[in-house]
Amino acid sequence: MNPESTALTITILGSGTSSGVPVIACDCEVCRSSNPRNRRLRSSALVDVRGVKILIDTGPDLRQQCLENDIRRIDAVLYTHEHADHIFGCDDLRIFNFIQEQEIPAFGHARTIGHLKKVYSYFTNPFQNGGGVPKVDFHEISEAFNFQGILIEPIPVWHGKLEIFGYRIGSFAYINDCSAIPDRSLERLKGLKALILDALRYSPHPTHFNLDEAVQVAQQLGAERTFFTHITHDVDHSEANGKLPNGMELVFDGLQIAIDLSSHP
């Protein structure tokens, strides 16, 4: 970690919902669009804090995302929750085990970690030798913790009736798959320079903010910049972006966001 660097950089690896965009067998205008910002892999992000590489979620597109963004190291993984579009690339972490010659720590809600251990039971109990087994050190968390000098704070939010985690690192927060934010978490999301927030589509949804709801929450939180993610094929990037308030925009795959951390942990 370079002590002279004060930058936190977020790379959006995927901006799409569970089906991705284009959707299989769909001929809608967004799925057929030539605009690369309408092509959305499943939601994930890489946070680089002074050289420490922290991955948020391991979705099923992880291999492709790492190749497209030339990712060569992962120091830790933060899991938001256990749904398939957020965990089913976990096996691809083994490549980084080979490169780094060490386990990769992964952090998440107790329920999420319990689910991961069941789905990936062969990580610790391989049924045969050979083939390569990922070495992932799972950790249940409920409070802020320190990782390599970086303070990471899990932020409880609601994904329908399921409590999941967003994360805050310094003046940046990532809140995905969210339909409600409890008051205690709203207070922990004040003073942000950048917020990435779930905004699924235009119409209401029982387990996600739609775009109007996300804008209202963003206005309430008052981050300097807000970026919306986990977007379906109902939303055309250029059209929606042109209608958003100042300081708000849709993310797209490959977007990089830099934040000065000089006054933050």
* Tens digit of each residue's pLDDT, the chain (265 residues): 344 456 899 999 999 999 999 999 999 999 999 999 999 999 999 999 999 999 999 999 999 999 999 999 999 999 999 999 999 999 999 999 999 999 999 999 999 999 999 999 989 876 766 668 899 999 999 999 999 999 999 999 999 999 999 999 999 999 999 999 999 999 999 999 999 999 999 999 999 999 999 999 999 999 999 999 999 999 999 999 999 999 999 999 999 999 987 654 4
| pLDDT confidence of residue 172 | 98
Asked whether residue 246 is assigned to any structural domain, the reply reads yes
| pLDDT confidence of residue 3 | 41
Angle at 37 between CA 34 and CA 39, to 5 degrees: 70
232, burial (CB in 10 Å: exposed 0-12, middle 13-18, buried 19+): buried
- CB proximity list for 263: less than 8 A, separation 6 or greater: none
| pLDDT confidence of residue 261 | 74
Q: What are the tens digits of pLDDT across the range 163-176?
A: 999 999 999 999 99
Asked whether residue 179 is assigned to any structural domain, the reply reads yes
For residues 139-173, one letter each, b for 16 or more C-beta atoms within 10 angstroms of the residue's C-beta and e for the rest, the string is: bebeeeeebeebebbbbebbbeebebbbbbbbbbb
| pLDDT confidence of residue 209 | 98
| DSSP category for residue 245 | P
Domain count, the chain: 1
Asked whether residue 55 is assigned to any structural domain, the reply reads yes
| pLDDT confidence of residue 124 | 85
CA dihedral 75, 80, 84, 85 (to 10 degrees): -80
Amino acid at 61: D
Domain containing 186 equals: 7-260
| pLDDT confidence of residue 128 | 66
Asked whether residue 66 is assigned to any structural domain, the reply reads yes
CATH number where 186 lies: 3.60.15.10
Asked whether residue 1 is assigned to any structural domain, the reply reads no
Asked whether residue 54 is assigned to any structural domain, the reply reads yes
| pLDDT confidence of residue 132 | 83
68 neighbors 47 (Cβ within 8 angstroms): no
Length of the chain: 265
Work out whether strand 172-175 and strand 44-49 pair parallel, antiparallel, or are unpaired: unpaired
Q: What is the value of pTM for the model shown?
A: 0.95
Token pair of 253, please? 């795959």
Asked whether residue 188 is assigned to any structural domain, the reply reads yes
Amino acid at 125: N
Asked whether residue 265 is assigned to any structural domain, the reply reads no
